[in-house]
Chain A
Amino acid sequence: MKTIEGLSFKRKIFFFGALFVLIHIAALPGISYSDTDVQEKLTIYVVNYPLKYFAERIAGDRAKVVFPAPSEGDPAYWMPDAETVAAYQKADLILLNGANYAKWVRKVSLPRSKMVDTSAKFKDRYITAEEVVTHSHGGEGAHAHESLAFTTWLDFDLAAKQAGVVMEALSRKKPAAEDFFKKNYAALEHDLLALDNEMKSIAAKNPLLPLIASHPVYDYLSRRYGLNMKSVHWEPDEFPSDAQWSELRAMLKKHPAKWMIWEKEPMKESAERLKAIGVNSLVFDPCGNIPDQGDFMSVIRRNGENLKPAFQ
C-alpha cells in the first residue's frame, strides 16, 4: 500500500483537497445554516424583576435574561460592582425601567446603543413623588432629581406598554424572530390587561375607600385604579417608633383608613398594634425583585386576592 509520501505531487494535492472537503461536510450537521438565528441566543440584562418576567415571556428560548441584583433588598437602590457593570456592557440589550428607577444607571457607563428605556414613551405620565425631600445648593441651585415615583409596572396598562417596548427592542435585535416575539407579547399583554381589569373591578367596589400604604411605592397603582391612599414610611421588619405611631394617628384622624398595605408580611407586633387601633394589614408585594415563590403573574394575582377583603 502506498504511503502519502510515496504519492506524486498532483496526487498529494488531490488527497488533501478531498480531505479538506470531507472534514467540512462532516462538520455540517453541527451547524444549522438555515437557523443560525435560533442558535445565537440574545443576552439581555434587566434592572428589575418585572422586566425580567416580561423579557422571558416574550423572548422565550431566544434569549438569556439576566437580573444580577441580589435577591434581598430593593433593586432600585442596588449598586453593582465593576464586574457586574462590565457584564451589563457586554449584553445585547439592557432593559431599563425608566422614571429614574435604577439609581445606579446614572453612576455607571453603559452603551447607549444597547439601552432601552421601557417607559420613555409615557414619560409625560410619570408621577412626582411628593413625599421625598429634595435638596439644592446656594440660593438658586436646581434641586436634586430624586422625586419621581418609579413602580410604573403596578399600573398594568403601563406595564403592558413597557412589555411592548421590550418586544420592539427584541424584534429590532432579532428580526427573524419578530413573529415569535409578537405572538408571545400578545399573550403577555392579554394577561396584563386581564390584571388591569381585575384591579379595576376590585377597586370599583369601593372607590373612596381610604387606605394607608406603609411605604410610598404604590403611586402608579393608586392613580390607575383610583385608590384613596396616603403613605407613611414604615418598614415591615421594624416596629414603628412612637413618633411614627403619632404620625399615623394624626393621619387617621383626617384619613380614617381601616387597612394598611404592606410590601411584605409585617412584624406580628406591628400588625397587632395596628389591629388594636382598628387598622388591618394586607400585603401587596410590588414585586420589584424575584419572588420567593411563583412569578410576577401569580404574585400580582395573590396581591389582588389580598386586596379584595379591604374593598368588600
Chain B
Amino acid sequence: MINIEKLHFSYLTGDFHLYISKLNVEKGEKVAVIGPSGSGKTTLLNLIAGIIPVKNGNIRVGETRIESLNDAQRRDFRIQNIGFVFQDFELLDYLNVIDNILHPFRITRTLTLDKDVRGRAAALAEKMGIGDKLKRQTNDLSHGEKQRNAICRALLSHPKLILADEATGNLDPENKDRILDLLFQAVDEHEATLLAVTHDHELLKKFDRIIDFRNFQSKEAV
C-alpha cells in the first residue's frame, strides 16, 4: 500500500532532518509508529498524506506517486483516499455530529454529497454507537464519543489509507481499548490500511507491525 524510498526531509528552520531509505506497508496492515517526540512521526504522516510536498525521495500510496503530484492533486488524492484521525479529534464545535461526519464532502468538489452518502454517514454513526446523537453539538459529547465522530468522518469517503495521529492520546484507558477496537474493526470492514502514530505501548500488541522511529534518525530503513 505504502512504499517509501530514499526520503529526505528537513524543515527550513531547526536541525530536524528525516531520512527514510526504505519503508513498506502492505495493504490491510495495521502498523503502529512509535518513537520519541520530535522524531518526525507526524511529519511522515503529513508527507504520506501530501500535506507537506515531497522534495527529495519517493512516496507511493497505492499506484500514486505522491512526489509527482502538485498541490491540488495531492489535495484531491488526500480527500479521496486518506482518512485522518487526530489526537484532539479536530471536530468543528459549531457543527453537529452528522455535519462533522459529512464535513469532508462539503469542503471539496471532488466528493459529492448526496442522499446515499448521508445514509452511509448515519449507518457509520450507528455502528460507532453514536447513531442516536446525530443532531447533538460535539461539545455535548464525551471524549470517546468525539473520537468515534472523528473516525466516522475519516471513514466516510471509503479511504484506502487511515492515518491516525495519537488517536487514543486523549482518552481514558477504558476508552482507548474500545476506540482502537472500533477503529480496527472499521479498517477491516473497509479493507483499508492503518498507519497509527502512538505513544501508548500497552496498545502495541494489537497492531500487526511496529515501526520504531529511533531507527530513522540518519540511519538506514527498517
Q: Do chains A and B touch in the complex (CB under 8 A)?
A: no
